[in-house]
Amino acid sequence: MAKWIWHPGSFELYHSMLLHNRRTRTRRYKKDTPSDRQGQTRSLYYPPMWRVDGPSHNACLEKTAEIFEPEVVELFSNTKCASIIVDGMYYNVGTKIKLNEGKHTVRVEGFKAESFPAFYVTGNVFASSRDYKVVSHDEKNGVSAGESELYTKQSDNVEVFKFSYKRVEPTNVTKLNGGVLYDFGREQFAKIKVKSKIVDSVTLYLGESYEEATDTDFTHIVLNAELKNGCYESSASAFRYIFVPCQKEIELSARLEYLPIKNRGSFRCDDPLINKLWDVCAYTMLLNSREGFFDGIKRDRWIWSGDAYQSYIVNYYLGFDKDIVKRTIRALRGADPIKKHINTITDYTFFWLISIWDYYFYTGDKDFLEDIYVDIKAVLTFIEGRLSSDGMFERKPDDWVFMDWSTFDSDGPICAEQMVLAKAYESVSKIAELLGDNDLSDRTRKQSEYIVKQVNKLYWSKEKGAFVDSYRSGKENVTRHANILAILFGYTSKIREKSIIKNVIYNDKITPITTPYFEFYELDSMCKIGDTEYMTDMLNSYWGKMLSLGATTIWEEFDPTKNGIEHYEMYGGKYEKSLCHAWGASPIYLLGKYALGVRPTKAGYEEYEVRPQKMAFGSFEGRVPTPKGEIYVKFSDTGCEVLSPLDNGTLIIKGKEYKIPRNQRLKIKF
């Protein structure tokens, strides 16, 4: 079947360019401004802090094959500047060209200044697909054409991203302070529609919380709705509440904008709180799954590599949508030449490399690794060009070292950064080995091992019984982050792991993690060593407390010691915090991997294990998606059941191993 094809990365960069330039901030004109603007609000363009790359405006793609029966090929394109060349002869778009049996070469060429050229070739063997290769003088010569599962019809417009829409209505409408408050029941990312027969304009104050929507002096998103022919529809915005500061006669509704990614994963247990948490996390993922994985839907609406990395992992236990992962990875990579780290953040560049091996390990999609290998090597070259002479990472003047919203001793190379760099090298080594690049594989493996050795030599404090942030400063400051990563990545000894658990993880004097972002890594590391009780306690005390405060999606940050509207403050703004942030959805992954116990042991689930574990929330059951179907697991005090469509699975429970038969229910009684 034919698909639309393009120069690899062009589709992703085009839509990334658009989404990263949609963000606005609300400006309010005070009473001392010119009279024609007093009391007005205005949306001002707010650009990203990194270079936004555009697509390739020209493309040349080619396929050579032998056919054993005649076929007719025809080219369609989104640009007039396009041709199809068959065996060296040029034809216009729309020309039906008959091919006889034998070997042929079909090439498509095009140019489009406003966006990017795309092609749709009908036929049989020569129908457009990733089998067409780049034929050009750039670095991607020989790489497969770009394509997407979203664009398989000749009538599809590749320049318009394909969202689905669902009408949503307010669940409650209340008169308040001389106006009307519309409550949509839970967080939305939707186009707002206003109808009226008597008004020409109306102001809408949007809020993720009741307080934000009704605090008209500080509301983050304010829409000045100008009605035409009695109707107005906004672009998609984030909100739960909409406040209209007057009681004009209007009809207000919304259209939820989303991608119809099916939740192939599921989870249910005896504890209603855990069930609700799973559902809230799944809905958070739905709202943030768009052109790529967003960080959050209200403030940034951008693609951040560290945030996206966690969305990939959750996706492997929820929707298992490969297309959105590949789109996000390509969008983050950008175009050459590379001048700064991804999102300007060093660890986000390292996580970009790590994410590509993880993608392969869960999906088995070797084709994508081959398609993006030239980009992997370019990113690695950029990283190595900015390392210290000893091969370690040390912050350059224009680098942003993030790791988490926490305070680190940043005097010299930071320990946690070295951990992630070593993991990036390890990931590149595995990719290179798989693709037959043994020289690069050996070199990067040795570099990873060297960094791990240096970390254990330079950063371990016998006095603290833990890794310190900096070995230069002499302060021996301990934060959780490097110590968590040492356990998670397996970069230290079992003896030191036990010391870390005692002196860091269970030490209340060490500053706690306050972002769901790094709770992901903390809980993953603890589950890895078998302490699942630590995870279930946090699901209740951290995420559960968030839900008790009325969260309908997961927040960007949560500090249980705060009160009231303090929970909505961030970055110096009263309502700056995102209340729908994808990096908080990790419970889906944790429950799938450590409660249901499903994980691949060979790439693409060619081999896998199911290792369910007794949890504090009683009996449970659920499904985990794989490339070839869903694995069902049910666990209780009396037994365990597994049903899988895959071969080569092993159930490991109560110290015993059982072969999982394909498409047959395996029942074990205790």
What CATH number is associated with residue 12?
2.60.120.260
Sheet with 639-643: strands ordered across: 266-269, 620-626, 629-636, 639-643, 666-669
Q: For residue 407, count other CB atoms closer than 10 A to its CB.
A: 10
At 31 the pLDDT is: 55
Residue 623's beta-bridge partner residues? 266, 632
Residue 191's beta-bridge partner residues? 255
In the numeric block, which tokens belong to residue 271? 């504890």
Is the pLDDT confidence value at 39 over 80? Answer: no
CATH number at residue 450: 1.50.10.10
**Which of 442, 463, 494 delimits the end of a domain?**
494
Do the bridges between strand 118-122 and strand 5-6 make them parallel or antiparallel, or are there none, so unpaired?
A: antiparallel
At 30 the pLDDT is: 61
| Tens digit of each residue's pLDDT (9 = 90 or more) over 247-305 | 878 999 999 999 999 999 999 999 999 999 999 999 999 999 999 999 999 999 999 99
At 85 the pLDDT is: 98
At 36 the pLDDT is: 54
Q: 590 in a domain, yes or no? A: no
15/155 same-domain check: yes
At 26 the pLDDT is: 82
- The structure tokens 């969305």 sit at 311
Handedness of CA 546, 547, 550, 554 (dihedral sign): positive
Give 139's pLDDT tier (boundaries 50, 70, 90): confident
How far from 562 is each of 565, 567, 568, CA to CA, in Å? Answer: 9, 6, 10
How far from 664 is each of 79, 436, 632, 644, 649, CA to CA, in Å? Answer: 52, 38, 11, 7, 12
**Which of 494, 525, 560 delimits the end of a domain?**
494
Q: Where are the alpha helices (DSSP H) in 271-318?
A: 272-288, 305-315
Percent over 90 (pLDDT), the chain:
93
CA gyration radius for the chain? 27
155/9 same-domain check: yes
Q: 307 in a domain, yes or no? A: no
| Tens digit of each residue's pLDDT (9 = 90 or more) over 535-546 | 999 999 999 999
In the numeric block, which tokens belong to residue 503? 């002196």
Task: Name the maximum alpha-carbon separation found in the chain.
Answer: 79
Report the domain count for the chain.
3
Q: 290 in a domain, yes or no? A: no
| Tens digit of each residue's pLDDT (9 = 90 or more) over 384-432 | 999 999 999 999 888 999 999 989 999 989 999 999 999 999 999 999 9
Averaged pLDDT score across all residues of the chain: 95
| Tens digit of each residue's pLDDT (9 = 90 or more) over 65-105 | 999 999 999 999 999 999 999 999 999 999 999 999 999 99
**Separation between Cα atoms, residue 3 and residue 129, nearest integer Å:** 6
Percentages helix, strand, coil for the chain (3-state, rounded to 5) are: 30, 25, 40
At 131 the pLDDT is: 97
Is the pLDDT confidence value at 33 over 80? Answer: no
**Separation between Cα atoms, residue 10 and residue 5, nearest integer Å:** 10
At 27 the pLDDT is: 74
Is the pLDDT confidence value at 38 over 90? Answer: no
Give 136's pLDDT tier (boundaries 50, 70, 90): confident
615/487 same-domain check: no
Higher pLDDT, 478 or 138: 478
- The structure tokens 């790590």 sit at 354
Answer yes or no: are the C-beta atoms of 611 and 649 closer than 8 Å: no
Do the bridges between strand 118-122 and strand 71-77 make them parallel or antiparallel, or are there none, so unpaired?
A: antiparallel
Q: With CA atoms as reference, report the closest residue to 595 among 172, 278, 185.
A: 278
DSSP output for 184-241: EEEEEEEEEEEE-SS-SEEEEEEESSHHHHH-TTT-SEEEEEE-BTTEEEPPPEEEEE
At 134 the pLDDT is: 97
Q: Which helix (H) or strand (E) covers residue 322, if one does? A: helix 322-333
At 25 the pLDDT is: 82
**Separation between Cα atoms, residue 417 and residue 347, nearest integer Å:** 6
Q: 22 in a domain, yes or no? A: yes
Q: 591 in a domain, yes or no? A: no
At 483 the pLDDT is: 98
Q: Which domain holds residue 113?
A: 1-159
At 24 the pLDDT is: 87
**Separation between Cα atoms, residue 454 and residue 164, nearest integer Å:** 51
Q: 384 in a domain, yes or no? A: yes
Give 43's pLDDT tier (boundaries 50, 70, 90): confident
Angle among Cα 326, 327, 331 to the nearest 5 degrees reads: 120
Is the pLDDT confidence value at 37 over 80? Answer: no
21/146 same-domain check: yes
Answer yes or no: are the C-beta atoms of 593 and 631 closer than 8 Å: no
Q: 215 in a domain, yes or no? A: no
**Which of 447, 476, 494 delimits the end of a domain?**
494
Mean pLDDT, residues 327-340: 97
CATH number at residue 617: 2.60.420
Q: 420 in a domain, yes or no? A: yes
Is the pLDDT confidence value at 198 over 70? Answer: yes
